[in-house]
Structure 1
Amino acid sequence: MKKSLMILLVLFSNFIIAQSFKITGTVSDASNGEKLFGATVMIKDLSLGATTDMNGNYAIENLKAGVYELTVSYIGYTSKTKNISVDKNVTVNFLLEPTSVLLSETVVKSTKAVLRETPVAFSEVKGADLEFKLASRDIPQELATTPSVYSSASGGGAGDATLYVRGFSQRNVAVMVNGVPVNDMENKWVYWSNWAGLGDVLEDSQIQRGIGASPYSVNAVGGVLNMVTKGIASETEYIKLKSEFGSNNLVKGSIAFHQKLSNNFAVTALLSKKNWDGYAVGTYNREFTYFFAVGGVFGDHSIELRGVGSPQEHGQRPFSYARLTAADWDKYGRNFNYAMGRLNGGWINEAVNKFHKPQFNIDWNWQISNHSILSTIVYYSMGRGYGSGTLGPFAPAITKQQDSVYQNYRDYDKVYSINSTSIDKNYSQTLHRATSTVLRNSVNNHDWYGLLSTFKTRLSPELTLNTGIDGRYYKGIHYQEIRDLVGGDYYVDFKDVNGISVDPITKKTLGKMVKVGEKVNYYNDFYVRQYGGFGQLEYKSGNISTFVNVSASSQGAKRLDYFLYKNNDPKRETDWQNFFGYTGKTGLNYNLDENNQAFFNLGYFSSAPMVNNIFANNTNLVSKNAKNEKVLGLELGYVLSSKNVLVRANGFYTKWKDRAITISYSDIDPTSGDPVTKYANVSGSDQLHSGFEFEYVFKIIRNLELKGAASYVVGKYLNDVEALISPENNPTAIKKVNLYVKDLYVSEFPQQQANIQINYRLNLMRGLNVFINPVYKFEGKNFASFNPDNRTNPNDRNQSWAIPTVNLVDLHIGFTWYISDFILKKANLNFHIFNLLNNKNYILDALDGTGHIATTAKFFYGRERWYNLQFAFTF
């Protein structure tokens, strides 16, 4: 028996040895045949590779029989990828084409940080990794695995995610697509539904926390997120078909391709369509995405046209009123949606978002000399669409006696009955006046034009100058329109002063009769212009790299109101309100040795106020309290980088002065004489955000990697705020407002975060590889949001309610089957389980309540366990 076992072991060992093969070859310059020393040849799925020697030779050994994707890369050259079938020793030679400087030296590159060079804290997520893990979520949901970055799915509607960096909301994070800023020019918000399909076309994304490395006049308190789409410089030709299926009837399909029409001319494109029912009642999504990039190199010039857009429609659970207490969630169910109602036996949704915001860029690069290049982006974006809601009182709730199945949803049958029977003879003898709830669309159309131009020149081998201009012009068109009169024939609006009349007989003031599709409630235009310049000197010598940056910009805003002022009233259009902002920042990176580096940076911003804070109460009155916000940032960091280890650690200190706060007060409507609530913006609030961040990647063995991140952020208000406000109807009546917020924690983000990931790659059999990625996430010390306006009691210094800690586990599994380098190159099967352990009680987006306790807080519950399955075929 022992002899037989020994014979079998020997035979098996000989078989294994006999099945061990190698790939060898050379890497050369295609233009002159010169062998390239130091080129990297990798089989990514095995985390196995080699570097070419002085003669351009490489060898990858101990391979089983199979098909492998082999990638060769070298600085200054276009990478190449081939599928190699190995059933014997194979020789594969590569000829690499030099990369055109005109395709790589763009405006986008000037905004990106570089390891061991740029003295800022940053993290990167490659486009392929983002596409694999995103699984039809909003982009910030996956970026939240980097330090101090938090994202909430909010009410669960597609595209409604939030983004926080170091405790600062996306209003204070500069979000850029291909180097172009996309934060709304009025309120600085980012609506992720407008960029729904971007995850399918990203080349990479980089989050720079703090002052960031962007030289432009974008003053970001929290940081900079720069997302770069694929383009004509992409390296591998392909055609890719992809299908995606998931929980709650998610179905998505896409086709993408990249084709080189010549050595320096190419086209890339993608089309996709997605349908989803949503996991909360009424949160459906219908989305279509398109992307294209076409262009090439023409002598000393390159030009590329890019376009991306996602026309979509989705139902929402409104942040403002759909959050409920724990008792109400227990009563109504976790998927309940207060925006949903019943009408004629079917559903009616109050809150729908429908929008299309395409962006088109023309990138032009001019190689002026060997040392100088001019890079320019001209861009245009237009937004068309709306979010919907109600006018009038909320529709009543359905009672259990009426319908036990749909109790607590809105009773639009009752609304229909009221609106379809009311006749107001002041307006019509036959038409029914909508006297109860009606549905409206809040239209927010805009046109946005911009120019970014940078001139980069090397003054000496060590010193580089980057200077340029940044200009934008924006027009926003805002109005509400009647969406559905719910049984009525018209609605009476008193907000349009040009539509108000007086009955000659009764002397009664009459409003304007408004029908479906006509404007109601408000109608105004915002104009915003911003232009600035910047200059940045970069010095690199030996182990030191440093930079000094200054930028300045002028932002102007004006408002034109068609409803609040008569057509001939000169006050209907304001003058330009101009604010001057500036930035100064510097930093230094020192490479201690080949693996260790240390850095620091320091920056100061003076940033113009948001346009919405310039004009009081949505009128043409200019707020007396509108002023620049000031930010001081300081950061110290350390990085350890080697073949098998990457560790980033840094601490930061950010002081935000003169932050604007919106407060409410009581006033009298000058037209009706009724008491109304008005709003004012006050400044003088200071915040301090400081903390520590840690990020690491450990390659334990060749195909096993441990990855993680952690952050601890303390965000606090530094002072109480005292403000003087004047009611519009009586400007001499000065009212003093005190807000007691000193030492309260800033809310809406977890101040403690950590995550741990395992990346495991395994070659199963001939050409088949598996990637397994479990992810654990922890969130703690997250305080319910509160309005500082409510903190008027000097004896109430209690923190807002602390949300219970969150623990979640996700699992990503991917199979890749490399087939050949013929027609079908590879097939992918990806499977994702989110909230693997089915935590049903974790809480999102809480609003503080009376007494700052759990029972009065209103919130959303997070999504229970759900799945996503993807198939992809690459030709």
Structure 2
Amino acid sequence: MTSFYSIINYNRLKNLFVFLSLFALTYCAFSQEKVQDSTKVEKLDEVLVKAVRVDANAPITHSNVTKKQLAKRNLGQDIPMLLNYLPSVVTTSDAGAGIGYTGIRVRGVSSQSTNVTINGIPYNDAESLGTFWVNLGDFASSVESLQLQRGVGTSTNGSGAFGASINVLTDAVSTESNGEISNAFGSYNTRKHTLKFSTGLLNEHFEIAGRLSNVSSDGYIDRAATDLKSFFLQGSYVDDNTLIKAITFSGKEITYQSWNGLEDVDKLENDRTYNSAGEYKDDAGNKRFYDNEVDNYSQDHYQLHWNQRYNNQWSTTLGLNYTYGRGYFEQYKEDQKFNDYGFETLDFNGEVIDQTDLIRRRWLDNDFYVFNANVNYKDNQLDLIFGGSFSHYDGDHFGEVIWAEFASQSEIRDRYYDGNSLKNDLSVFSKAYYKLNDKLNLFGDLQVRTVNYKTYGTTSDLITFEIDKNFTFFNPKVGVSFKLNTQNNLYASYARANREPNRTDFESNEHIEPEQLNDFELGWRHKNGNFTFNANIYYMSYNEQLVLSGTLDDVGNPIRTNSGKSYRLGLELEAVIPVTSKLTLQPNMTISTNKNKETIILFDDKLQNLGKTDISFSPEVVAANAIVFQPIENLQIALLSKFVSEQYMSNTEANVSKLDGYFTNDFNVNYELFFSGDEASSPVFESVVFTGLVNNIFNVEYESNGYYYTYDDDWSNPGTIDTIEGAGFYPQATTNFLLGATLKF
């Protein structure tokens, strides 16, 4: 196993030195003796994400999550699992326990169509468009706040949002020195160890803060072990009108593969944790499992941000980013054909050998550069932002055979396939909030985005893969909010979005089309004291929506297909209901219908028109509730409930592709014990926070994700072609627990 400290190698130290050197030079240029206004520190931190966020009264449907809210359940699970109880959200975990490869769907839309930014920097993988939270182990411990926008939302950086956008703000500048030691343990040998610190403001201007983490788990599924090592480090300079941050964070993950799911219905009922990944038979015919069937990937991020306020009206934000990612997944494969690896046939004493058992690694090695710039003008009536973002991606894809029973003519480190991808993404936007009067506010947002995507070389199937595509998208958005009175606010908005296909889309269909979305939102926000109620109706009309077909490729990537015209129509309700001063209810519910207007498929060698069908992975009802009881100030007890109705994993409503609905409940408790001392003595620790989480307390057996596939069988009935259907499922963990303690000083 790789040493914990090997993630901080020479190249990382070199790049970190360059970043901190730039920071030091900038610090010297701006180091003037000024009195620090601590109230402006937070405001300047928030400017990092102002261009991609909206405020409480904007005509955009959204939810805000604070650091304090994340901490209630932050015991090592990935960020999607911490967002599970937000409206319209469905989450899933390959390993079943929320650590490792996890995913999030909002309004039924896949994570590939959810835009994610960190401090305004795009985080989605430029080629797959997906978000791999596994590369950011324990990142929730470095999040100051995040905002989940449902629907198209406001213009953002990177790939377009087709169901949601999640914009993350990392830790704010702390005016006082502090530290935390956090440890958690739980089911499936789960462990989380975190060390955090901040120097506070030195010389009233300079802060250094950081985090070091290790999260590991054996997983609910057999052998689905995860080992996540990560760090976060930032240096900040701040005065009344300037905030400069140099940030670096990194993660290394080693995860035993569990993306095959379960296709055997009998095993789903009687052996739910079975994992076929790594399975093979030895020479004696005994079933064995390869011990290193793992995904091994590292990702380093370097960000430099400069926020400058010139006066009460004008401010600017500049952001630079470099991300370096590299790693592979390793597989033991039996009876592989020589032709699939470019091997030459062997003649061994007259016996022709053209197959072999082997171990292969498929590699990714990529560089990602981003430049963001925003200018903000604000007065009592107008809040105007001009901005732009440019990114460049350069990624290598190649494969190696590291062992073979019969290696033919191959040499060590030969690449049996080799390809490269380049992607340039440029967007410019202008957005404005205009206060027409005390009751009426207008919102407008115009974005132009151009994308160029080129590929060279071959795919893992040794097929030439050369794509050269250019896209230009125009994405207008308008909205209005009307304040009926101090308690009620109405809003309406229209947003247009366009989005390019990803690499897997092009691999499955070179002529696949980009997707378009027209999003209409109509909402009502009510607040009366501590009682709040929000209602929102949405209609999302798609053309050529890229929907999940339910099928996976040979490395577990979901395959999407254009669905012609389709729509999502839904009602979202959420509330905070104070029953007593100590008891609060926090329910939310989404009721929706999600349809392909016409579905035509080739089945049993015949074109069949199925008419209107459900869009895959789109349940009609998603509901959640939190019953929160706070008997004393420092103790909070919560019962968290989640209901997801049945859904199909195909666009054909095939019975075999149905995921049953499920209803689960989690129990969460938090207690903070404060230490006090007199003038003569001071306690070592300021407080200790005890956290407990019991997931799925009623031991429900359920599956939140899966896949559907078909293939033609033309041999079972001579003269006919029959289509064979099948499905795989990802079982989620039954009752399990996590316990943690955080020492604050």
Give TM-score, length-normalised by structure 1: 0.71
Please name the residue that 1:838 is paired with: 699
Whether contact under 8 Å (2:278, 2:332) holds in the other structure is no
Q: Distance in 2 between matches of 1:680 and 1:196?
A: 26
| Counterpart AA for 1:450 | V
- Following TM superposition, by how much is the alpha carbon of 1:359 offset from its aligned partner in structure 2, in angstroms? 1.6
Q: Which moved more, 1:686-695 or 1:351-360?
A: 351-360
Whether contact under 8 Å (1:216, 1:551) holds in the other structure is no
| Aligned pairs (5 A) from 1:217-616 | 218-231=159-172, 233-234=173-174, 236-260=176-200, 261-297=202-238, 301-319=242-260, 322-330=261-269, 333-341=271-279, 347-349=289-291, 351-393=293-335, 426=346, 435-458=355-378, 460-485=379-404, 488=405, 490=407, 492=408, 513-515=409-411, 517-520=413-416, 522-540=417-435, 541-561=437-457, 576-614=468-506
Please name the residue that 1:748 is paired with: 617
Report the identity percentage. Answer: 19
Whether contact under 8 Å (1:685, 1:721) holds in the other structure is no
Whether contact under 8 Å (2:477, 2:496) holds in the other structure is yes
Q: From the superposition, tell whether residues 589 and 313 of structure 1 become closer, same or farther in structure 2 (CA, over 3 Å).
A: same
Q: From the superposition, tell whether residues 467 and 827 of structure 1 become closer, same or farther in structure 2 (CA, over 3 Å).
A: same
- Following TM superposition, by how much is the alpha carbon of 1:718 offset from its aligned partner in structure 2, in angstroms? 1.1
Q: Of the candidates 842, 860, 863, which is equivalent to residue 730 of structure 2?
A: 860
Q: Of the candidates 633, 642, 645, which is equivalent to residue 519 of structure 2?
A: 633
Q: Distance in 2 between matches of 1:779 and 1:453?
A: 41
Q: Distance in 1 between matches of 2:647 and 2:273?
A: 23
Whether contact under 8 Å (1:589, 1:599) holds in the other structure is yes
| Counterpart AA for 2:735 | R
Say which SS state the counterpart of residue 80 (structure 2) adopts: helix
Say which SS state the counterpart of residue 454 (structure 1) adopts: strand
| Counterpart AA for 2:572 | E
Q: Distance in 2 between matches of 1:538 and 1:703?
A: 38
Q: Distance in 1 between matches of 2:548 and 2:686?
A: 57
Please name the residue that 1:804 is paired with: 660
- Following TM superposition, by how much is the alpha carbon of 1:473 offset from its aligned partner in structure 2, in angstroms? 0.3
- Following TM superposition, by how much is the alpha carbon of 1:480 offset from its aligned partner in structure 2, in angstroms? 1.4
Whether contact under 8 Å (1:446, 1:477) holds in the other structure is yes
The CA deviation string for residues 637-658 of structure 1, in whole angstroms up to 9 with x for no partner, is 0111232111111010001102
- Following TM superposition, by how much is the alpha carbon of 1:721 offset from its aligned partner in structure 2, in angstroms? 4.9
- Following TM superposition, by how much is the alpha carbon of 1:354 offset from its aligned partner in structure 2, in angstroms? 1.0
Q: From the superposition, tell whether residues 304 and 849 of structure 1 become closer, same or farther in structure 2 (CA, over 3 Å).
A: closer
The CA deviation string for residues 717-767 of structure 1, in whole angstroms up to 9 with x for no partner, is 1123589xxxxxxxxxxxx9957453211122432111221111233xxxx
Q: Distance in 2 between matches of 1:680 and 1:268?
A: 41
Q: Distance in 2 between matches of 1:473 and 1:164?
A: 27
Say which SS state the counterpart of residue 827 (structure 1) adopts: strand
Q: Distance in 1 between matches of 2:377 and 2:187?
A: 53
The CA deviation string for residues 310-352 of structure 1, in whole angstroms up to 9 with x for no partner, is 1110112124xx3223213345x22111114478998524641
Q: Distance in 2 between matches of 1:199 and 1:589?
A: 32
Q: From the superposition, tell whether residues 245 and 277 of structure 1 become closer, same or farther in structure 2 (CA, over 3 Å).
A: same
The question of 1:770 aligning with 2:626 is answered no
Please name the residue that 1:501 is paired with: none
Whether contact under 8 Å (1:637, 1:651) holds in the other structure is yes
Q: Of the candidates 656, 669, 685, which is equivalent to residue 542 of structure 2?
A: 656
The CA deviation string for residues 844-872 of structure 1, in whole angstroms up to 9 with x for no partner, is 32445789xxx965323221111111011
| Counterpart AA for 1:545 | N
Give 1 or 2 for the bigger CA radius of gyration: 1
Give TM-score, length-normalised by structure 2: 0.83
Say which SS state the counterpart of residue 69 (structure 2) adopts: helix
Q: Distance in 2 between matches of 1:172 and 1:164?
A: 9
Q: From the superposition, tell whether residues 739 and 601 of structure 1 become closer, same or farther in structure 2 (CA, over 3 Å).
A: farther
Whether contact under 8 Å (1:217, 1:552) holds in the other structure is no
Q: Distance in 1 between matches of 2:395 and 2:344?
A: 36
Q: From the superposition, tell whether residues 236 and 752 of structure 1 become closer, same or farther in structure 2 (CA, over 3 Å).
A: farther
Whether contact under 8 Å (2:209, 2:234) holds in the other structure is yes
Say which SS state the counterpart of residue 144 (structure 1) adopts: coil
Say which SS state the counterpart of residue 698 (structure 1) adopts: strand
The question of 1:109 aligning with 2:50 is answered yes
Say which SS state the counterpart of residue 134 (structure 1) adopts: coil
Q: From the superposition, tell whether residues 714 and 574 of structure 1 become closer, same or farther in structure 2 (CA, over 3 Å).
A: same
Q: Distance in 2 between matches of 1:289 and 1:205?
A: 20
| Aligned pairs (5 A) from 1:9-88 | none
Q: From the superposition, tell whether residues 437 and 628 of structure 1 become closer, same or farther in structure 2 (CA, over 3 Å).
A: same
- Following TM superposition, by how much is the alpha carbon of 1:219 offset from its aligned partner in structure 2, in angstroms? 2.1
Q: Distance in 1 between matches of 2:608 and 2:73?
A: 44
Q: Distance in 1 between matches of 2:40 and 2:639?
A: 37
Q: Of the candidates 559, 565, 574, which is equivalent to residue 686 of structure 1?
A: 565
Q: From the superposition, tell whether residues 242 and 743 of structure 1 become closer, same or farther in structure 2 (CA, over 3 Å).
A: same
Q: Which moved more, 1:463-472 or 1:737-746?
A: 737-746
The question of 1:701 aligning with 2:640 is answered no
The question of 1:720 aligning with 2:640 is answered no
Q: Distance in 2 between matches of 1:107 and 1:556?
A: 27
How many corresponding residue pairs?
Answer: 671
- Following TM superposition, by how much is the alpha carbon of 1:565 offset from its aligned partner in structure 2, in angstroms? 13
- Following TM superposition, by how much is the alpha carbon of 1:774 offset from its aligned partner in structure 2, in angstroms? 1.0
Q: From the superposition, tell whether residues 516 and 248 of structure 1 become closer, same or farther in structure 2 (CA, over 3 Å).
A: farther
- Following TM superposition, by how much is the alpha carbon of 1:271 offset from its aligned partner in structure 2, in angstroms? 0.3
Whether contact under 8 Å (1:581, 1:608) holds in the other structure is no
Gaps of 5+ in 2: 1-35, 338-342, 551-557, 712-724
Whether contact under 8 Å (1:439, 1:482) holds in the other structure is yes
- Following TM superposition, by how much is the alpha carbon of 1:299 offset from its aligned partner in structure 2, in angstroms? 7.5
The CA deviation string for residues 255-305 of structure 1, in whole angstroms up to 9 with x for no partner, is 101222232321211001123222221111111110011111267543101
RMSD (Å) for aligned C-alpha atoms: 3.4
Q: Distance in 2 between matches of 1:373 and 1:739?
A: 58
Please name the residue that 2:628 is paired with: 759
Q: Distance in 2 between matches of 1:436 and 1:525?
A: 28
Please name the residue that 1:165 is paired with: 106
Q: From the superposition, tell whether residues 136 and 323 of structure 1 become closer, same or farther in structure 2 (CA, over 3 Å).
A: same
| Aligned pairs (5 A) from 1:91-170 | 97-100=38-41, 103-104=44-45, 106-115=47-56, 117-156=57-96, 158-170=99-111
Say which SS state the counterpart of residue 193 (structure 1) adopts: helix
Q: Distance in 2 between matches of 1:833 and 1:526?
A: 44
- Following TM superposition, by how much is the alpha carbon of 1:830 offset from its aligned partner in structure 2, in angstroms? 1.1
Say which SS state the counterpart of residue 199 (structure 2) adopts: strand
Q: From the superposition, tell whether residues 483 and 595 of structure 1 become closer, same or farther in structure 2 (CA, over 3 Å).
A: farther
Q: Distance in 2 between matches of 1:874 and 1:680?
A: 46
Whether contact under 8 Å (2:51, 2:387) holds in the other structure is no
Whether contact under 8 Å (2:280, 2:334) holds in the other structure is no
Whether contact under 8 Å (1:118, 1:213) holds in the other structure is no
The question of 1:827 aligning with 2:688 is answered yes
Q: Distance in 1 between matches of 2:562 and 2:595?
A: 16
Q: From the superposition, tell whether residues 873 and 394 of structure 1 become closer, same or farther in structure 2 (CA, over 3 Å).
A: farther
Say which SS state the counterpart of residue 44 (structure 2) adopts: helix
Whether contact under 8 Å (1:692, 1:712) holds in the other structure is yes
Whether contact under 8 Å (1:177, 1:228) holds in the other structure is yes
The CA deviation string for residues 492-512 of structure 1, in whole angstroms up to 9 with x for no partner, is 5xxxxxxxxxxxxxxxxxxxx
Please name the residue that 2:531 is paired with: 645
| Counterpart AA for 1:366 | Q
